[in-house]
Structure 1
């Protein structure tokens, strides 16, 4: 009996390592403040020299604050910033530094929460299920591109438990105002007009969950001037199924975009996305990972159908404890040379170390 209890505690600890860590630094009179930070160092090896080197070593840090206003009303705020560790002390010192998140809001009883600021687009509610790879992944949820990843100017309403009536049923709605970034590098691609998104998910006690999300936003005039991707609207929908229990993690995502997936020369008129991840958490700290990621463009002007990305990834985490982890991953590119979109076809090996609290 004692041995089984120890095993259960170990499993709970190791599974908890995969979630974000935070340190509580203040909790008094209904006011609470947690700090979180992660230092990740990594190195990439590839046949393509442009993809080799220390490309993504960084520090990500910030806080989560909460204040109790009344018995039913709570205020909260979140801020997160990323600092690059690969830059010199010269003119390139600002490259790779960016605000990741920054929003504030109110939560009222069973009605849910409403917040505004830089946050995750609701399409990421689905894509997050396969964004679990040790190094790669997150290829289809572009940041600042039509609510697929992190975006600015988001008004978000969330309700977990469906007004406290249906356990496991979570719903959300989101509005994004126009963001014109045409004055920066790749800014036209990352611009957007007004739009909205919806998401819903249901989790069973067995660890199985299903989810879906949809987004539709206006496109800017500059975006319609591209060679590829025409239309007044950009749309994105995605569905997911996940199993997360008994040390096993399995997840798959299938979705489709219209005038919303960036490619060389603009956007794909249509793209089909499929992602799948399988992982197992050993009690000794190892967590091997196997994944398949693909995005295929359809009806691209002067090209037709073409792969945007397609690869398999084999990797692993090793958790020394809840704060320190080692990771490595090999990405086997499944694209061939001379593909229509001139996408890189090199295989890549990445490895690194992360400390978080």
Structure 2
């Protein structure tokens, strides 16, 4: 029973960071070094040929920590991912850097780090990104401002409000420009900042909110939607007694991409998830993910669209944890979007996807 409760609590970490059962490589004289990994054989089944097929990958991470003084700790984390669907002769193994940051922690005064990390909006957005395969994609997008993983992030975090209020955490984040006009060679974001706060109320119940605002790059602003990109989110979750429930609501402005790299002037987003961990290792999961674009205000094809659903699916899935290192999972993304002129012109898929996978993690 205790082992399964531990699995339920650690599942989001195992799936996202692959570090729940990290192997300790070194621990001496205040210096620690852990190695973690996740090897996943994953196959998608869908009428959408862009999604159907092999989706296997491997992730490796390394986390270091050093005790500088009694109150000061230095730390760093790096994680990479290699895809397994490319041929050996293809010359492209899909190598990506998911995380790469280093920082320093000053006791109850908090921590500061810099590098490639999670954006501040993901402090709340991550609460529903716990599905067996899908989820966390109504407004959370990689390398899109501070909605999910992104680069050039400087983050200050404080736990338990300087040690004075148990469960009350807050964070402030600054993101430097990632612009094709500089060394980054891509139009991802201008300078921006954000903040978040979460409060553990006890008995498994937590609430949270986050906000971020950024300049848009010169090339981004050529769509005449505006010079700023803003996002706000709020959420609530319950995580106790083998039951996990979470709900988030978010709005973004001139921030989110949809279809073939169109930008929504405004989105309204809802994500709901419910999971239960049985003693035998089975963890069923049910979720709804929804995003509606408002005031889109630009032509797609020969027509101007203003209010359209961008994401709308019900997710039914399950994990089966054989133990803390090995999991089998199935996830069925039931796409609720109807095929239309808008989805076809914008390049939005309306097909269902089934994911079947086995995962080994350490």
| TM bucket, shorter chain | over 0.9
Q: CA deviation at 1:183?
A: 9.9
Deviations 1:165-187 (Å, cap 9, x if unpaired)?
Answer: 00000000000110014799x94
Match of 1:151 in 2: 150
Judged with a 3 Å threshold, the aligned counterparts in structure 2 of structure 1 residues 355 and 206 are, in CA distance, closer, same or farther, namely same
Q: For 1:120-152, what per-residue CA distance to the aligned partner results, in whole angstroms no more than 9, with x for missing partners?
A: 101010111000110111213101101001111
Alpha-carbon distance between aligned partners in 1 of 2:355 and 2:60, rounded to the nearest angstrom: 23
Deviation at residue 15 of structure 1 after TM alignment: 2.2
Structure 2 gap segments, 5+ residues each: 15-19, 298-303
Q: Which residue of 2 aligns with 1:197?
A: 194
Q: For the residues of structure 1 that align with 2:86 and 2:261, how far apart are their CA atoms? A: 29
Whether contact under 8 Å (2:103, 2:114) holds in the other structure is: yes
5 Å-filtered alignment, 1:263-342, equals 263=258, 264=260, 266-301=262-297, 302-342=304-344
Where structure 1 has 5 or more consecutive residues not aligned to the other structure, the ranges are 1-6
Equivalent of residue 349 in structure 1, options 342, 350, 354: 354
**CA contact under 8 A between 2:267 and 2:291: conserved in structure 1?**
yes
Cross-structure match for 1:4: none
For 1:40, the equivalent position in structure 2 comes to 40
Among 206, 211, 216, the residue aligned to 2:213: 216
Greater displacement, 173-182 / 293-302: 173-182
SS of equivalent residue, structure 1 residue 49: coil
Q: Which residue of 2 aligns with 1:53?
A: 53
Alignment partner, residue 3 of structure 1: none
Q: In the alignment, which residue of structure 2 is the partner of 1:171? A: 170
Shift of 1:24: 1.4
Q: Please, what TM-score do these two structures have when normalized by structure 1?
A: 0.93
**Distance in 1 (alpha carbons) for counterparts of 2:72 and 2:60:** 27
Aligned length: 344
Q: Aligned partners of 1:17, 1:251: CA distance in 2, in Å?
A: 16
Distance 2:192 2:4 in 1: 42
Q: Relative to 1, partners in 2 of residues 1:104 and 1:38: Cα closer, same or farther, differing over 3 Å?
A: same
- How far did residue 158 of structure 1 move? 0.2
User: SS of the counterpart of 2:69?
Assistant: coil
Instruction: Name the SS of the counterpart of 2:127 in structure 1.
Output: coil
Choose 311-320 or 336-345, whichever is displaced more. Answer: 336-345
Quickly say closer, same or farther: Cα 1:182–1:348, change in 2 above 3 A: farther
TM-fit CA distance, 1:292: 0.2
Q: CA deviation at 1:14?
A: 3.0
Query: What is the TM-score of this pair, normalised by structure 2?
Result: 0.91
Check the 8 A contact 1:153/1:177 in 2, yes or no: yes
SS at match of 1:162: helix
Instruction: Determine the C-alpha separation between the residues in 2 that align with 1:176 and 1:13.
Output: 35
Aligned twin of 1:225: 222
| Aligned residues: CA RMSD | 1.8
Instruction: Write out the 4+ residue segments of structure 1 that deviate beyond 6 Å after TM superposition.
Output: none
- Deviation digits for residues 266-306 of structure 1, max 9, x if unmatched? 31000001000000000000000000001100011220100
Cα distance in 1 for partners of 2:324, 2:127 equals 21
Q: Describe the SS at the equivalent of 1:204.
A: strand
1:129 to 2:127 alignment: yes
Alignment of 1:246-257 (within 5 A): 246-257=241-252
Q: Quick check: 1:17–1:323 contact (8 Å CA) kept in 2? A: no
Distance 1:11 1:319, change over 3 A: closer
